[in-house]
Structure 1
Amino acid sequence: MNWRRLWAIVIKELRQMRRDRVTLAMIMAIPVIQLVLFGYAINTNLRGLATGVADQADTAGSRALVMDMLATGVVAPVAKADTPQELMAMIRAGKVSIGIVVPPDFERRRIDGRAVAQVLVDGSDTTVQGAAAQLAQVPIDSARPDTRAPLTSTPVSGRISVVAFYNPQRSSAVNIVPGLIGVILTMTMVLFTAIAIVRERERGNMELLIATPLTRSELMVGKVLPYVAIGLVQTSVILALGIWLFEVPIRGSVLDVYLASSLLILANLTLGLLISTRAQSQFQAMQMMIFVFLPSILLSGFMFPFAGMPRVVQWIAEALPLTHFLRLIRGVMLRGAGLWEMWGDVLALAVFTVAMMALAILRFRKRLD
C-alpha cells in the first residue's frame, strides 16, 4: 500500500465533503437535532393533558375535588360540559384526552363512602391511560360538609374510578399499527418523489421532457399521481396485516381511513417534489429526506406522547403532516370518529399539500442548468 496515494484519496474526500453543503449540514445537524429532541423535546412524564370537566354537583366540595385534580398538573381544563355524554363526544372527536365527571349526588356519595367521581380516558393512547391513573390517588375528605362542629377525618383515596375507552386492555399494537401507516407512508412517499426530478437528470431524460409541450404544473402533477395508487396499496397491506395479526379494530368508516391516508400521501408526495427541485443528486435527496423523516417520527406523537413536549416544540410539530394524520387515523380507527369531526387536521393537510405543490412548481425549471 502506497501511503502517499492513500493520503491523496483522503484529502480528496475531505475536500469533496467540504464542497457538498448538504453533506456538511448533515454531519453537523444530525447530532444537534438528536441531542435537542431527546434532551429537550422528548418527555414521557405527561403533564397538562387536555381535559373536559362536567361538575354536575357544583358544590364547594365538588369544586375542591376538581381543583385538587388540576393541582396534580396531569390535567389542564380546556372545556366544560353538562353531561358525561358531552365529554364522550369531545373525547371521540379528539378535543380532549380526559373527562372528569362529578355526579349530582356527590355529597351523598362522599358521606356513604362510595365513588365520588369518574375519570373518562381516551385509551387509544396507552401513555394517557398511565398518566390518568394518578388522578385516582387524589385524597378525598370523608368528613360530612354540613356539620356545625368540625369533625376530624382522614383523607381517603381510591374513591375516584378511572374508565378507559377504546383500548381497555392497553394493547400497544392497537396504538402503534395505525401510526405505522403514517410512518411508512412518510418514509416511502417522500423518498419516491424526492428522487423523481433528480433521477430524470441523471438518466438523461430531462432533455426529452424539455422538448415536450408539457407545462411545469402538468409535469409535477403527473409525477405525483402514480404514487398515490402505490400509497393506497401500502395502506391496504398494513391494514390487512394489522387486523389479521394484531386484531386492530376499525371502528370508523373504512372510506374515512382511505381518505385520511390519501391526504397524507399527497402531502408527502408534494414535499418530496419540493426536495427534488433542490437536490443535485439522488444521494442528496435521500439526505434531505432524513431531515424531514427524523423529526416526523420523534415529534408527531408516534413514539413519544405529544402532550409531554414543550409548547414551542408542539408548534413545530404542527407543521409536520404526520402529526395531523396520526390524530385523524387514530380518531377514525380507534374512536370511531368521522373526518368532519376533526376538520382542523383535514384542513391542515390540505393547506400543506397546496403550499408544497405551489412551491415545487415555482422552483422547477424546464432547463438543464
Structure 2
Amino acid sequence: MPGSASSPWSASLAREWARLRADRWDLAMLGWIPLALYLLTWWIFSAGLARDLPLVVRDLDHSAESRSLVRMLDQSPGLKPVLAASDAEALAQLRAGRAFGIVSIPARMGERLARGEHVTVGWAYNAQYPSHTGAMTRDVRAVVATMSAGAELQGRARRGAAGVQAMQQVEPVATRPMALFNESGSILPSLALPALWSLLHIFVTLAALTAVGRELRNATVPDWLHAADDRLGVALLAKLAIPFGVFLLQGALLVLVFGALLGWPILGSALAMMLGSVLLVTAYLALGACLVAWSGSLRSALSACAFITAPAFAFSGQGFPMLAMPGAARAWAEVLPLTHFLGLLNNTWLGGAPLRYGLGALAALALFTAGFGAAAYLRLRARVRQPDSWGGT
C-alpha cells in the first residue's frame, strides 16, 4: 500500500526486476554467462596435476644405462620423453613448442658409471614457461637422483658395504619433505578456486556499475527515485539487492561444488568463509556503484572497472609472491579487496585456520564496503540533483 514502510523497497525491487527481465544481456550477466565461465575455468584445470609434459631426449650413449634412464623418465607421471636423432632436431622441437626441455645423455655414460666416475646429464629447458618447466625440472632431478643413488649403491655393494650401510653412506644427511595444506599438489584448490572467485568479483562489479550507470545514461533517475519514494538510500540498496543475492548464491555454489563434489571441503572456519564471501560481494558492489557515481559515465566506469578488476588476480599473490613485488605493486595489491579475500581463502579453506586468523581480512573487506559505499552514496546524492550530468555515454 502507498505510504507503508515496505512500499518504497518493494516498488524499487519490482522495478529493478522488470528492468532485468526486459534486458536479456543484463540478465545473462547475472546468470548463464558467469556460470559458463566458471565451468570453463574448472574444465581447464580439471586434470588437477600436469601430466605427460613433453621433453626431448638426446641419447649419445645408447647403453643399457641410458635406456634405463629414458624408461625412468617415461615412468614419471609428469614427463613424456621423445627421442631426437640430432641436436638440431631437439632444438627444433623446443622452438616449435612440441617440447619444453632437452635431456642430454653424454657418450660413454654406462662405461663411466661402471668405473665409478662422475657423469653429468644435461637438462636444458625453456624458461619462458616457468610453471611448466618448474614441475619438469623437479621430476627430471628426481629421476636422475634415483638413478645416481642406484648406481652408487651398486658400486658400494660391490666393495662389500651392506645395503643399509651403503644407503647411509650415499646420503648421510637426508631431507624428509612433507606437504602441508593440499598434500596432493593439485592445482584445483590452489589455482582454479582462486581464479573462480576472481571471475566472480569482476561480474559483481560489472553488475553494480551497469545497474546504476544505465539510470544515468538513460536519464531515468526521476523514475528510479520515484519508485523509492525519493529515498536515494532505498533506491540504491534495492538496485543492488538482486545482484547481491545472485552472486551470494553463486559463491555458495562454488563452496558446494568444491567441498561436496570435488572433495575439497573448508578445513578452517566456515563462518570466516561465509562472512568473507558476503563482504567480498558487498565490497565490489559498492566499488561498482562508486565508479559510476564519480565518473558519471557508464563508458568511463566500465573502463575503470576493467583497469581495476581484470589484473587484480595478478596482484593477489597467487602467481607471484607479494613479498617479492616492488613497493608500488604491493601497495596497489593491498588496496584491492580481492587480495584480502584470497588471503582469507588460502588460510581458511585448505589451511584450516580458525576465525581469529581471518579477522584482519574480514575487517579490511568491511572497511572497503563502508568506504566505497559511502563514497558512492555521497556522490550520487549530488549527481541525482544535476540533470545536466545525465544522458551521457
TM-score, normalised by the number of residues in structure 2: 0.51
Give the superposition deviation at 1:317. 0.6
335, 360, 365: which one pairs with 1:349?
365
Tell me, which stretches of 5 or more residues in structure 2 are unaligned? Answer: 1-130, 139-168, 389-393
Distance 1:228 1:178 in 2: 20
Deviations 1:194-235 (A, max 9, x none): 112221133443121344543333333333333221111111
Seq. identity, %: 28
Tell me, what secondary structure is at the counterpart of 1:162? Answer: coil
- Counterpart position of 2:379: 363
Any runs of at least 4 consecutive aligned residues in structure 1 with deviations exceeding 4 A, and if so which?
A: none
Change in Cα spacing, 1:196 to 1:157, as seen in structure 2 (3 Å) is farther
Where in structure 2 are the equivalents of 1:1-369 lying within 5 Å?
Answer: 158-211=173-226, 213-243=229-259, 246-364=262-380, 365-367=383-385, 368-369=387-388
CA contact (8 A) 2:272 2:358 kept: no
Structure with higher Rg: it is 2
Deviations 1:8-42 (A, max 9, x none): xxxxxxxxxxxxxxxxxxxxxxxxxxxxxxxxxxx
Distance 1:265 1:194 in 2: 13
Change in Cα spacing, 1:178 to 1:259, as seen in structure 2 (3 Å) is farther
CA contact (8 A) 2:286 2:373 kept: yes
Distance 1:304 1:340 in 2: 26
Distance 1:267 1:157 in 2: 55
- Code of the residue aligned with 2:384 in structure 1: it is K
Deviations 1:107-148 (A, max 9, x none): xxxxxxxxxxxxxxxxxxx99x98xx9xxxxxxxxxxxxxxx
TM-score, normalised by the number of residues in structure 1: 0.54
Change in Cα spacing, 1:172 to 1:196, as seen in structure 2 (3 Å) is same
Tell me, which stretches of 5 or more residues in structure 1 are unaligned? Answer: 1-125, 134-153
CA contact (8 A) 1:252 1:336 kept: yes
Change in Cα spacing, 1:290 to 1:267, as seen in structure 2 (3 Å) is same
Distance 1:280 1:351 in 2: 24
Deviations 1:34-81 (A, max 9, x none): xxxxxxxxxxxxxxxxxxxxxxxxxxxxxxxxxxxxxxxxxxxxxxxx
- Code of the residue aligned with 1:169 in structure 2: it is S
- Code of the residue aligned with 2:185 in structure 1: it is R
Tell me, what secondary structure is at the counterpart of 2:177? Answer: strand
